[in-house]
Structure 1
Amino acid sequence: MTTTTAEGLWARSYHPAPERPRQLVCFPHAGGSASFFFPVSAQLTSVAEVLAVQYPGRQDRRTETSPSDIGTMADLVYAALGDRIRSRPTAFFGHSMGAMVAFEVARRLEADGGELTHLFASGRRAPSTYRAESVHRRDDDGIVDELKLLSGTNAALLGDEELLRMILPAIRSDYTAVETYRCEPGATVKAPITALTGDDDPKTTLEEAEGWRAHTTGAFDLQVYPGGHFFLSSQAPAVLALLREHLAAGGESAR
């Protein structure tokens, strides 16, 4: 597989803007797909080119097996997108499981001599925090119940039994990956980190979100929004304004 093919397999550029000096790479949540970030791409194309990571096991990659390990996922993402990420100033935005994948890809980038302008970690507690969770061990109905609880999956999809059963293996793999993830002790990145969280998120307390501070040797900022685990939906204008400010400022830590 060539680098170009691998890049196209793992990332979607819904609004190509190669002339932009900066780029933002977005990492979806467990069960999520690249298309979740289509609106982000549309709104930010004036300041940066937005790439959305497409994990295996969903949409056009639905016949592939999704890794059930965050480290493996990060290895594969970096192998496919490393050259693209290093090509110009780049920031990462990851939501929920995506925040973990983004953090691990950032570690690989920096270990390889690259540099990330900023890491936006949304809807996920710090890598060093731990909760005993076992959604991945539930039966299919139990996993669907969790998706409904968090309100992060399209309601039409939850009502389409055939399609839902088709993607459940990938969702289970995602939950396995995020629930069995254990951060390497003392793991940090040089990139500044902004943690974003909802004030009513059952998956992340404010203290757990604040814990991201220990994972950067650069600047840290915590942004708290009204809402639950998917506060991104109701707070999209505010989150987009934050990202636009960062990208327009040339990748400098502005908060």
Structure 2
Amino acid sequence: MSSSSVDEGLWCRRFHPAPDAGDRLVCFPHAGGSASFYFPVSSALSPAVDVLAVQYPGRQDRRREAGIDTIGELADNIFDALRPWTDRPLTFFGHSMGALVAFEVARRVEDHGVAPLRLFASGRRAPSRYRDENVHQREDDGIVAELKKLSGTDARVLGDEEMLRMVLPALRCDYRAIETYRCEPEAVLRSPVTAIVGDEDPKTSLEEALAWEDHTSGGFDLQVLPGGHFYLTHQQTEVMRLLSDHFASTAVSGRPS
């Protein structure tokens, strides 16, 4: 177990423990998202794969905690929390902001000698591709408008003022983290990367998704699926196929040291 002061129980949720699984999938949520977003993934892959979902501070049962507004600090904390879970081969899946967080955690994991089997970077342009965005500086109504445009938040939340008040601080914090993030030009993973993007995603063009290839020396492929920024809510079957094929291939080909 890690000697870190970070409580891995706060950060890592294990909805369907799979103690006999040979692989472990770590899932990273989008801005404003929570670990429970990946409950269906955990349910579908267990018990063949042990699934962990990361819970950022500032939401759900951690809503009274202050959010973290830099990707680097968030990645540092998650890396510390994941140390006890590196006893099995790791695969990372991150959507939107979660793709950047997963990338930065993967860099830290690799620096300590454990290369993830693969990073699935979903719905996010490559770390070196920037846009001039300022959602975190908007009034609350402006953040709500962004959520509606992306269709990634339950309509019941957008219509419930009390629930909105609870999630908006975390959302603002998350948007500040992703909009101020800057990646070092030399940041390249040894792990292979699969970028996944919706063909109508307003936040990530095909060119921006293809640029993930610049951040890996371990192989790259791009998957384009029908849909917008939250394509995966309508393409769950296809996303699960991609993950299942990945784990099947690692079982057949063996795992890198």
What TM-score do you get using the length of structure 2 for normalisation?
A: 0.95
| Preserved contact between residue 123 and residue 198 of structure 1 (Cα < 8 Å) | yes
CA distance in 1 between counterparts of 2:246 and 2:108 reads 23
TM superposition shift of 1:249: 2.3
| Preserved contact between residue 20 and residue 47 of structure 2 (Cα < 8 Å) | no
SS of residue paired to 2:244: helix
| Preserved contact between residue 32 and residue 170 of structure 2 (Cα < 8 Å) | yes
TM superposition shift of 1:46: 3.5
Most deviating of 136-145 and 157-166: 157-166
SS of residue paired to 1:250: helix
1:16-56: per-residue Cα shift (whole Å, max 9, x none)? 10110101000000000000000010111142011000000
Aligned pairs (5 A) from 1:177-188: 177-188=177-188
Aligned pairs (5 A) from 1:81-92: 81-84=82-85, 86-92=86-92
SS of residue paired to 2:152: coil
* 2:223 counterpart residue number: 223
CA distance in 1 between counterparts of 2:190 and 2:136 reads 32
SS of residue paired to 1:65: coil
* 1:74 counterpart residue number: 75
Matched, 1:169 2:169: yes
| Preserved contact between residue 128 and residue 185 of structure 1 (Cα < 8 Å) | yes
| Preserved contact between residue 22 and residue 250 of structure 1 (Cα < 8 Å) | no
Which residues of structure 2 form unaligned runs of 5+?
none
| Preserved contact between residue 126 and residue 210 of structure 2 (Cα < 8 Å) | yes
* 2:16 counterpart residue number: 15
CA distance in 2 between counterparts of 1:45 and 1:248 reads 14
* 2:45 counterpart residue number: 44
* 2:33 counterpart residue number: 32
* 1:146 counterpart residue number: 146
CA distance in 2 between counterparts of 1:184 and 1:2 reads 29
Which residues of structure 1 form unaligned runs of 5+?
none
Q: 1:224 to 1:168 in 2, by over 3 A?
A: same
Aligned pairs (5 A) from 1:63-212: 63-84=64-85, 86-212=86-212
CA distance in 1 between counterparts of 2:123 and 2:106 reads 18
TM superposition shift of 1:87: 0.9
Percent identity between the two aligned chains: 61
CA distance in 1 between counterparts of 2:5 and 2:222 reads 36
Q: Which one-letter code corresponds to 2:203 in the other structure?
A: K
TM superposition shift of 1:101: 0.1
1:207-237: per-residue Cα shift (whole Å, max 9, x none)? 0000000000011000000100000011110
Most deviating of 58-67 and 38-47: 38-47
Moved over 6 A (4+): none
Aligned pairs, number:
252
CA distance in 1 between counterparts of 2:61 and 2:206 reads 36
SS of residue paired to 2:245: helix
TM superposition shift of 1:5: 7.4
* 1:238 counterpart residue number: 238
